[in-house]
């Protein structure tokens, strides 16, 4: 059992290399072991490309060893034809001896079918090895499948005296450069990023990845009455952008206006993003939008930076309703992470 944990931990480490690159698919890692030696490794590298099991099998120098090998995979092998053939069928074709799986795939297209294919072929199957860790790693995927909405991360920066902006809505810069770089890393890891009208108007953010290497997230702004000027960076069509509003639906290059008849309802915005297979979204402000998400209880995680700066007065920061899960010091800033339970 100890060796099973070791090999599965390695598979989880491999899966992590796919973060920010495989959505709406899950991150998956795979390790192939023959007589207590790793003979193959792989992970899902990019959406639409080969899955972890395929890459691991292709890395094995002597395919004849597969029939006596154990395959460790972080998620149940797929059982359906999507952009790639079923991995469960590939493992059967290679006649592997045993498959150890961290967690089931709750996608209805898989949902136990991959395990069934393996067992019916006479392959020994073991499940539940580091299952909790595997589900946490793919919490965005499981939220999308099971909750039918994106995984929602709330993020804001506040002063030591509890303000997210001054009374004139100006807020640059509350945190230090290291904290801001970390936020850009997060942006590269998530599918989308959302701000409200006031944040767009007063901060004029680009909401892209400038201080990190990675893809830009889908930008989203909420502007019910379409009052924001076209001169804002969010409307420059440099990055795919959605503007939720109550006035019109229109496509203008990479800028899409999406009319929501309900107006400013969190559940309807998340439902629309779910339809578009958006697996995760960071809500970056302002205070009004953040409080709407907190009140809806349709959020999963809050990441709150507190700096040593003080404004004395201004726009009050939201108050997370749950205990702190983790505290991280970033030079003179403090990052507190909350999980909605």
Tell me whether residue 228 is annotated as binding.
no
Tell me whether residue 78 is annotated as binding.
yes
Tell me whether residue 262 is annotated as binding.
no
Burial bucket for residue 36 (CB in 10 Å: 0-12, 13-18, 19+): exposed
Tell me whether residue 210 is annotated as binding.
yes
Among candidate residues 41, 53, 189, 190, the one labeled active-site is 53
Tell me whether residue 171 is annotated as binding.
yes
Tell me whether residue 173 is annotated as binding.
yes
Tell me whether residue 207 is annotated as binding.
yes
Tell me whether residue 87 is annotated as binding.
yes
**Residue closest to 288 by CA, chosen among 182, 194, 176:** 194
Tell me whether residue 284 is annotated as binding.
yes
Tell me whether residue 140 is annotated as binding.
no
Tell me whether residue 166 is annotated as binding.
no
Tell me whether residue 157 is annotated as binding.
yes
Q: Taken in order 289, 290, 291, 297, is the CA torsion positive or negative?
A: positive
Catalytic residue status for 53: yes
Please state the residue numbers annotated as binding site. Answer: 51, 78, 87, 157, 171, 173, 187, 199, 203, 207, 210, 284
Active-site positions? Answer: 53
Please state the residue numbers annotated as binding site for Zn(2+). Answer: 51, 78, 87
Please state the residue numbers annotated as binding site for substrate. Answer: 171, 187, 203, 207, 210, 284
Please state the residue numbers annotated as binding site for NADP(+). Answer: 157, 173, 199
């Amino acid at each position: 059992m100890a060796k099973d944990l070791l090999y599965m931990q390695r598979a989880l480490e491999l899966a992590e290399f796919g973060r920010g690159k495989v959505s709406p698919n899950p991150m998956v890692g795979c390790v192939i072991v023959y007589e207590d030696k790793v003979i193959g490794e792989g992970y899902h590298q990019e959406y639409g490309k080969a899955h972890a099991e395929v890459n691991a099998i292709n890395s094995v120098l002597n395919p004849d060893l597969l029939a006596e090998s154990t395959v460790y995979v972080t998620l149940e092998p797929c059982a359906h034809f999507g952009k790639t053939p079923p991995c469960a069928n590939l493992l059967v074709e290679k006649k592997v001896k045993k498959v150890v799986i961290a967690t089931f795939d709750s996608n209805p297209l898989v949902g136990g079918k991959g395990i069934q294919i393996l067992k019916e072929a006479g392959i020994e199957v073991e499940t539940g090895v580091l299952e909790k860790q595997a589900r946490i790693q793919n919490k965005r995927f499981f939220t999308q499948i099971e909750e039918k909405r994106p995984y929602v991360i709330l993020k804001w920066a506040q002063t030591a005296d509890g303000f997210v902006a001054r009374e004139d809505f100006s807020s640059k810069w509350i945190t230090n450069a290291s904290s801001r770089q970390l936020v850009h890393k997060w942006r590269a890891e998530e599918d989308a990023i959302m701000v409200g009208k006031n944040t767009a108007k007063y901060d004029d953010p680009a909401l892209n990845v400038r201080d990190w290497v990675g893809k830009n997230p889908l930008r989203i702004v909420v502007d019910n009455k379409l009052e924001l000027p076209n001169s804002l960076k969010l409307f420059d069509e440099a990055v795919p952008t959605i503007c939720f509003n109550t006035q019109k639906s229109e496509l203008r290059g990479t800028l899409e206006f999406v009319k929501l008849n309900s107006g400013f309802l969190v559940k309807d915005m998340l439902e629309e993003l779910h339809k578009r297979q958006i697996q995760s979204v960071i809500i970056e402000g302002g205070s009004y939008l953040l409080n709407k998400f907190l009140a809806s209880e349709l959020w999963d995680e809050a990441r709150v930076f507190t700096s040593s700066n003080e404004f004395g007065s201004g726009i009050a920061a939201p108050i997370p309703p749950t205990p702190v899960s983790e505290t991280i010091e970033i030079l003179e800033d403090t990052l507190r992470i909350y999980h909605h339970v």
